[in-house]
């Protein structure tokens, strides 16, 4: 998907600043033409998370947590018929102390389309582009584009989401419209985002450390048959980052993440069946201790059913294994690295969505989870105190305008 959605930006000052920039850098006639293409959109989501054991996005096991909030603001315009300028600012709080709620640039690109006709499109983006992997990554922060409040955590990690979310660099895309369907390709080279979530995952929070992205690569080939009746995609990436800590601590090392994701979806008028499977090779080398080189496995199967025009229910089985050579986590526990159940997670999800209005969405879902493989470490700093089996309820209100 190529910057195909623009989500609103309700910041009047930002809109006026953008208009002033356009007007100040172009002739009056050209500026008027660009303003005609200006789109300004936005969205907001607020959730309540309740768990019986463990914490997720805040103190959810202590009466519930409301520390899951997403606010997005977007603007786009066309200074030329072949050029699109688009950017989105995102404020997202997901547990913790709220410091992650500071607005950041979610994406910001200049998109130049060299070829665009009835048969094919070809272009490239420069800037911060959303990484094309799986079905949902490029729009994962917009509740209206998700089939559930939480995406399958085995594929779309929230505890290390920054690594796969976006990159700063160049992305090339192409689309070929065939008699029976549409073939799309996108590939990018750039520097991945490495926020605090990855630092917390790779080392204890009480240690001084930093993780900086290095030149990485990502690509996806996607085919839609007969207008989306069948959709298939293959995504792959090679992501690199440098890990730095004092020499007397862990020292300096290199982190590598190399996922392959196969995605399949079958759509009918009232229902959809979706499945994704991933092999995730990850390694951390060069440190004084805590080095690893493992291959994990992820997969889920999801069935969604639409009814009464504006209702949808969902059932999903989601499975995560951190290390294929130690599926039970017993070897991990034997060396004193943590509890065995921190190395896997099997999640049964039931969900319900009601589109009250095209701009208002209400959602609720239940999770029964065996394992803590995707629990955020910021909410559960001592994995030994977590429970293997736990339940979670989520409720969410989402608006767009």
pLDDT at 346 over 70: yes
CATH class of this structure's domain 12-400: mainly beta
- Residue 31 pLDDT level (bands cut at 50, 70, 90): low
pLDDT at 10 over 70: no
Q: What is the CA radius of gyration of the chain?
A: 22
Secondary structure class of 52 (helix, strand, coil) = coil
Q: Which helix or strand (DSSP H or E) is residue 22 part of?
A: helix 12-25
- Residue 268 pLDDT level (bands cut at 50, 70, 90): very high
pLDDT at 91 over 60: yes
186: nearest Cα among 37, 41, 7, 4? 4
Extended strands (E) in 165-310:
166-177, 181-192, 210-225, 230-244, 252-267, 271-285, 292-307
Domain boundaries, the chain: 12-400
**What would the pLDDT profile of 352-374 be if each residue is shown by its tens digit?**
999 999 999 999 999 999 999 99
Q: What is the mean pLDDT of residues 129-151?
A: 93
Q: Which pTM does this prediction carry?
A: 0.87
Q: What is the pLDDT of residue 7?
A: 31
């Amino acid at each position: 998907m190529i910057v195909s959605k623009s989500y609103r930006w309700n910041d009047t000052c930002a809109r006026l600043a953008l208009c002033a920039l356009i007007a100040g850098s172009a002739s009056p006639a050209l500026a008027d033409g660009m303003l005609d293409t200006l789109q300004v959109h936005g969205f907001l989501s607020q959730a309540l998370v309740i768990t019986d054991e463990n914490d997720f996005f805040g103190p959810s096991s202590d009466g519930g947590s409301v520390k899951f909030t997403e606010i997005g603001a977007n603007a786009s315009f066309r200074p030329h018929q072949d050029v699109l300028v688009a950017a989105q600012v995102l404020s997202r709080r997901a547990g913790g102390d709220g410091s992650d709620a500071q607005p950041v640039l979610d994406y910001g690109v200049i998109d130049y389309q060299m070829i665009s006709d009835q048969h094919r499109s070809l272009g490239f983006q420069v800037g911060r582009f959303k990484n094309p992997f799986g079905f949902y990554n490029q729009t994962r922060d917009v509740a209206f584009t998700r089939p559930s409040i939480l995406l399958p955590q085995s594929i779309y990690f929230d505890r290390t989401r920054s690594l796969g979310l976006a990159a700063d660099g160049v992305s090339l895309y192409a689309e070929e419209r065939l008699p029976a369907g549409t073939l799309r390709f996108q590939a990018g080279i750039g520097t991945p985002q490495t926020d605090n979530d990855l630092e917390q995952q790779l080392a204890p929070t009480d240690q001084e450390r930093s993780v900086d992205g290095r030149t990485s690569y990502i690509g996806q080939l996607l085919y839609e048959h007969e207008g989306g009746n069948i959709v298939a995609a293959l995504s792959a990436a090679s992501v690199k980052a440098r890990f730095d800590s004092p020499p007397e601590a862990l020292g300096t090392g290199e982190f590598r993440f190399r996922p392959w994701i196969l995605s399949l979806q079958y759509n009918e008028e009232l229902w959809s069946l979706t499945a994704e499977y991933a092999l995730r090779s990850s390694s951390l080398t060069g440190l004084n201790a805590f080095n690893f080189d493992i291959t994990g496995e992820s997969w889920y199967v999801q069935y969604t059913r639409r009814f009464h025009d504006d209702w949808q229910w969902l059932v999903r089985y989601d499975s995560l294994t951190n290390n294929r050579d130690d599926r039970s986590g017993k070897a991990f526990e034997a060396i004193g690295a943590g509890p065995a159940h921190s190395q896997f997670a099997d999640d049964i999800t039931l969900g319900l969505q009601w589109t009250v209005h095209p701009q208002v969405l209400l959602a609720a879902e239940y999770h029964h989870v065996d394992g803590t493989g995707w629990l955020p470490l910021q909410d559960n700093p001592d994995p030994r105190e977590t429970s293997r089996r736990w339940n979670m309820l989520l409720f969410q209100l989402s608006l767009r305008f």
